[in-house]
Structure 1
Amino acid sequence: MDISKYKVDGDQQVKLQEFATSEDHGIDEKELREKQIPDRVKKLKELHLRLHAEEKKGIVVVLQAMDAAGKDEAISYIFSNLNAQGLKTTSFQKPSDTEKSHDYLWRIREGLPARGQVGILNRSHYEEVIAPRIHDLLGDEVIPDNTEKEKVWSLRFRQINDFEQYMVENGFEVVKFFFNMSKEEQKKRLLERMKDPEKNWEFSFRDVEERQHWDSYQEIFEDMLNHTSTEAAPWYILPADDEWYSRSIITEAMIQCLEKIDPQFPEISQENQDKLDQYIKQLENE
C-alpha cells in the first residue's frame, strides 16, 4: 500500500482543502475490515513484539483531530491488538492547575514510552498550539520574556520541532496522524452519538460548542501542519470520513516505522543456552 501521498514532506505547504476527507480508493470496506487490516495488524503485532523484546528503541504516536474524527476507534481497532506490556496510551484533557504551573511541555512526559514501547498520545503537546489560540487562553505569565504575544506560536512550533528531534535522536521515532474530517461528517457522527442511548456516553456538550469554531480550527490545523511536519517527525493527513481506510493508512505507517527500526529478538548467550538445555532436560525427565 502506497501511503506516501498522505505524508507531509517538510518543505510541503499544506492547504487542507486540497486534502480529501474521503476518496475513491477502490477498496471495498468489507475487504479492509475483514482481510487487509487484520492481515497487516498481524504483521504489526509481530514487529511490535520484537520491539518490546529488544528494548532498544521506542515510538511516539500522536493522534490529533476534531471531536468524533475517529482517534479512539483507531486505538481500539489497531493498537489494542498489540502486546499490552509494550503499549502505553495517554489521553490529554484540559491542563490541571499543577500542569499549568509548569512549562507547557512538562505534562507530555507522563505519556512518553520507555524503550521497547509504543506510546500513543490521544491528543498531545499540540493542544498547546491549538486550544489557547482558539479561546485566547494564553496568559501573560507564560509568554517568554521579550516575546510578542502573536509570535508565541512560531516560537512553540520551533520548540516542539526541537523536542521531537531530540526524541528521535535518542532512539524514539515520532509518527503523527491528523484526522482530516469534513464538517458534514462530524455533524453526522455527533448526531448519531446524541440520538443513540448506547452512545450518549461518548457525547459531550462541549463537542457542539467547539464545532462553532470550525473555521478557526481548520486555519490553525493548517498552520500547525505547515510548521511541524519534519523529516524526523512527519505528519500523515488521513481522509478521516472513511474510518476503515484511515485505519489502514495508520497500520501501514506503523509497519513502515517499525521496519525502519528493524528490531530483533535478543540472542541468547552460549552460557545461557547451555543452561536452558539443561533445564529443558530436567523438566522433560520429571
Structure 2
Amino acid sequence: MIDEGFSCRFSVTDGKKFSLKDWLTLPDDLPPEEEVEQLLKQRVKEISDLQNVLYADHKWSVLLIFQAMDAAGKDSTIKNVLSGVNPQGCEVHSFKQPSARELEHNFLWRAAKCTPARGKIGVFNRSWYEETLIVRVHPEFLEPQHLPDGLVTDNLWDERLEDISLFERHLARSGTKILKFFLNISPEEQKKRLLSRIDSPKKNWKFDKSDIEERTHWDDYMHAYEQAIQKTATDYAPWFVIPADNKPYARLAVADAVLAALKTLNLSWPEVKEELKAALPDYRKKLEDS
C-alpha cells in the first residue's frame, strides 16, 4: 500500500546539491497497476472536494507547472489528475512557440499574465522555464527576442533563472501555492512512445518529426533541466522529479503531491454572518410557501 504523502520523496526544495543522475525514471518499488489506479481515483476525488473549498474560500490560488521531454506524459497526467475538478475553478495553459506579440515583451510576460486568480487552480503545460530550456539548447531562438546589445552574455541563463525564482517568490508571497513537476522519462522509454505514435494510426497526429531531432540534444536538455532545478528549487516553489517511465505511477505521484499541497492551505468554507443564519428559517418558509 502506498501511503498518502509518498510524493514527498520526489520533492526538491533546495537545489544546491541536486544532480539529475541520482533520480530514477522508474521506481524500485512499483506496485501493482490495479492498486495504483484505485489510489489515483481516491486522490482525484479528494482533490475535487478540496478544489470546491478552494474556490469558495477565495484566498489562495494554486499553480501547477509541468515540464518534460516530449512523450513524457504531460497531457495525460494533467487530464487524469484533474479529471474531477470543476472547470470553473481550473484553467490550463499550453505554451508553445511564442507569437510575434509575445516576443515583443520580456520572457516572463506571456506566462505571467496567465497565473491563476484567487480560488482557482492554474495549470501550465510548459512555462517560463522554456526560456531556459529549449532556448538554451537552441540559442538561435534568442534572435527574434530582439534583446539589446550587451544583454546576451554567458550569464543570461543564470540571470533568467534568478528572475524566475524571484517572480515565483512574489507569487508565493501573494497567496499562490506553486508546485513544479519534471516528468523524468528515460530516452529508451521516450523512444518506445515515439515509435507507438508512428505505429498506431490513432496516434499519428501526435508525431512530430522535430521530436527525432530533439533526441540528439538529450544530454544538453538534461543539463538545462538540472541547472533549472538547482537554481529554482525552493520551499515556496518546490520541484517534484517524478519517475515517468510508468504513466499510471507518475499520475498517482503528481496527484498525491497536489492533494498534499491543498491540505496545507487550511481551506474552509466561508463563514455565514449571524444575521443571515438567523434569517434562513424565514427564507425557507417563504420558498416553501411560494
Counterpart secondary structure, 1:176: strand
Which segment drifts farther, 2-11 or 64-73? 2-11
For residue 76 of structure 2, what is the amino acid of its counterpart? E
Output the CA distance in 2 between the equivalents of 1:26 and 1:97.
45
Output the CA distance in 2 between the equivalents of 1:43 and 1:141.
43
Question: Quick check: 1:89–1:122 contact (8 Å CA) kept in 2?
Answer: yes
Question: Quick check: 2:181–2:241 contact (8 Å CA) kept in 1?
Answer: yes
Output the CA distance in 2 between the equivalents of 1:89 and 1:276.
38
Question: Quick check: 1:89–1:111 contact (8 Å CA) kept in 2?
Answer: no
Who is 1:206 aligned against? 210
Residue-by-residue CA offset, 1:214-254 (whole Å, 9 max, x unaligned): 11111111111111111110100000001111111111111
Residue 168 of structure 1 deviates from its aligned partner by 0.2
For residue 240 of structure 1, what is the amino acid of its counterpart? A
Who is 1:124 aligned against? 127
Equivalent of 1:156 in 155, 160, 164:
160
Counterpart secondary structure, 2:75: helix
Residue 165 of structure 1 deviates from its aligned partner by 0.1
Question: Quick check: 2:242–2:253 contact (8 Å CA) kept in 1?
Answer: yes
Q: How does 1:24-35 map to 2 (within 5 A)?
A: 24-33=28-37, 35=38
For residue 227 of structure 1, what is the amino acid of its counterpart? K
1:87 matched to 2:84? The reply is: no
Counterpart secondary structure, 2:142: coil
For residue 225 of structure 1, what is the amino acid of its counterpart? I
For residue 63 of structure 1, what is the amino acid of its counterpart? F
1:71 matched to 2:74? The reply is: yes
Who is 1:222 aligned against? 226
Who is 1:168 aligned against? 172
Equivalent of 1:255 in 259, 275, 278:
259
Q: How does 1:7-86 map to 2 (within 5 A)?
A: 7-33=11-37, 35-86=38-89
The two structures, once aligned, show a CA RMSD in angstroms of 1.6
Output the CA distance in 2 between the equivalents of 1:70 and 1:267.
40
1:5 matched to 2:9? The reply is: yes
Counterpart secondary structure, 1:139: helix
Equivalent of 2:182 in 172, 178, 193:
178
Residue 26 of structure 1 deviates from its aligned partner by 4.3
Aligned length: 285
Q: Go from structure 1 to structure 2 and tell me whether the alpha carbon gap of 1:266 and 1:280 turns closer, same or farther (over 3 Å shift).
A: same
Q: Which segments of 5 or more consecutive residues in structure 2 lack a partner in the other structure? A: none
Which segment drifts farther, 217-226 or 8-17? 8-17
- In the superposition, the TM-score normalised over structure 1's length comes to 0.95
Counterpart secondary structure, 1:115: coil
Question: Quick check: 2:44–2:83 contact (8 Å CA) kept in 1?
Answer: no
Q: Percent identity, please.
A: 37
Who is 1:110 aligned against? 113
Output the CA distance in 1 between the equivalents of 2:144 and 2:87.
42
For residue 284 of structure 1, what is the amino acid of its counterpart? E
1:135 matched to 2:135? The reply is: no
- In the superposition, the TM-score normalised over structure 2's length comes to 0.93
Output the CA distance in 2 between the equivalents of 1:55 and 1:142.
40
Counterpart secondary structure, 1:266: coil
Q: Which segments of 5 or more consecutive residues in structure 1 lack a partner in the other structure? A: none
Residue 285 of structure 1 deviates from its aligned partner by 3.0
Output the CA distance in 2 between the equivalents of 1:144 and 1:6.
39
